[in-house]
Chain A
Amino acid sequence: MIEIRGLTKRFGDRAVLDGIDLDIGRGEIIVVIGPSGTGKSTLLRCLNFLEKPDAGTILVGDLTVDAARATKDEILRLRRCTAFVFQNYALFANKTALQNIAEGLIVVKKMAKAEAHAKAQAILERIGLGDRGDSYPAALSGGQQQRVGIGRAMALEAALILFDEPTSSLDPEWVDEVLDLMRQLARAHQTMLVVTHEMQFARDVADRVIFMDEGRIVEQGPPSELFFRPGDERTRSFLRKVLPPA
């Protein structure tokens, strides 16, 4: 359903993404792990064109975008079928929780305001913030802000939600509520591509785990294989550092 071929991104003469090939099935939950600075976030950002890839193609549904000659219109359409959850939440500070979720529906999907607000309220209930719709981001805890961030992505009913280290900025006390919401989305068969350092989450929830190093996919497989029988020495070395000794 989503096909990525030869996705390449250079910063100067350094290839941060070096020809990534990746297929993502409908409803699949993929977790990307790897040392920092190996292009995991860049992969997500390129899929949403927050960074413009230098080469490669991205196919989502019936839309194919050739990175080298993507038009403005194609980029808009691609963004409209891929939602993004940011490490630092990135909520609109001038809008309430409800308005944050409704904004894309009103502006991008051209939904009537009343309908958009009704839908946003339903999402607030799902993310457990039904009574906080009128709160501005500044009045919400980190965990609540990130749940609104996820709610904003959910509202768009995107083919794919990209999670860029969604719990890395959170105080430890708020991590679980965000991961629980992501588990809930996974159970609802939302297609997700998640960059995270939460290995427990990866083991429990992912259908497939991808290990990236130096801009390439080194190996991938179901968590039971990748975590317990890694084939590549780089994967083994990384896992020794992040997994508690058994």
Chain B
Amino acid sequence: MQGLDLDYMVGLLPVLLSYLPLTLQLAVTGMALALLLACLLAVVRVLQVPVLDPLVRLFISFFRGTPLLVQLFLFYYGLPQVFAFLTAINGITATIIGLTLHFAAYMAESIRAAIVGIDRSQTEAALSIGMTTSQMMRRIVLPQAARVAAPTLMNYFIDMIKSTSLAFTLGVTELMGATQKEAAGSFLYFEAFITVAVIYWIVVEGLSWVQRRMEVFLNRAYAR
């Protein structure tokens, strides 16, 4: 067994880190859009909006029932063959759309569960003072559901950061794509991939720290 080429790893680190912003951009954009979409989907499910509700269930079923990689290939390679205007789509956009739809499907279900968990009497109280359904949702239900759903949503965000690595299969040179290229040039696969693994790991650990702080903040109303 050969020794680990530490010098190579130290030299590789700044190269790989320069691709971290793109990885984070994919994850943060995907997460923001997925959150927004997931809230809408969850509200449709909770209020059982006619016509939309069955469509949302179909949407969730499909995006939870098929692999993310298949969905990404479908958006990037497949759909442009059917819809010509989609040929303009680049790898980054396709990745963001794929991550958004895939994770929105999962997150909608956990937001829905959190909404359903809010004590029914509070929604009645909101209506009894003359709030509209959307005022009730925005001011009373969703803020409380956010607290309940936050830990799971954070897990999905962590999962999403790691899933951005699939973007390299669409030709996007993000963290994983860059590592792949570097490794192919140096043949030092173990060093390259252990370095990138550590980078992902540290990012996720940082987020876990943020998550703990956030939960303390969200729980402030419930301290006795």
Contact = CB atoms under 8 A, between A and B. Distances in A.
Interface of A: 48, 50, 76-77, 79-80, 82-84, 86, 88, 90-96, 103-104, 107-108, 136, 138-139, 152-153, 156
Given A90-B125, A92-B122, A92-B125, A103 B139 contact: yes
B143 A84 contact: no
A86 B127 CA distance: 12
A138 B144 CA distance: 14
Given A92-B140, A94-B221, A139-B223, A86 B121 contact: yes
A83 B222 contact: no
B143 A94 contact: yes
Contact of A107 (B128, B131, B147, B220): B131
B215 to A, nearest CB: 15
B11 interface: no
Contact of A138 (B119, B128, B130, B224): B224
B129 interface: yes
A91 B125 contact: yes
B124 interface: yes
Contacts of B124: 50, 84, 86, 90
Interface in B127-156: 127-132, 135, 139-140, 143-144, 147
A90 B128 CA distance: 11
A74 to B, nearest CB: 12
A79 B130 CA distance: 5
B126 interface: yes
Nearest to B218: A94
B145 to A, nearest CB: 10
Contacts of A93: 119, 122, 144, 221-222
A88 B127 CA distance: 16
B129 A90 contact: no
25 contacts: A76-B132, A77-B130, A79-B128, A79-B129, A79-B130, A83-B129, A84-B124, A84-B128, A86-B121, A86-B124, A86-B125, A86-B128, A90-B119, A92-B125, A92-B126, A93-B221, A94-B140, A104-B130, A107-B139, A108-B129, A136-B220, A136-B221, A136-B223, A138-B221, A138-B222
Given A93-B122, A94-B144, A107-B139, A139 B224 contact: yes
Contacts of B223: 136, 138-139
A76 B131 CA distance: 7
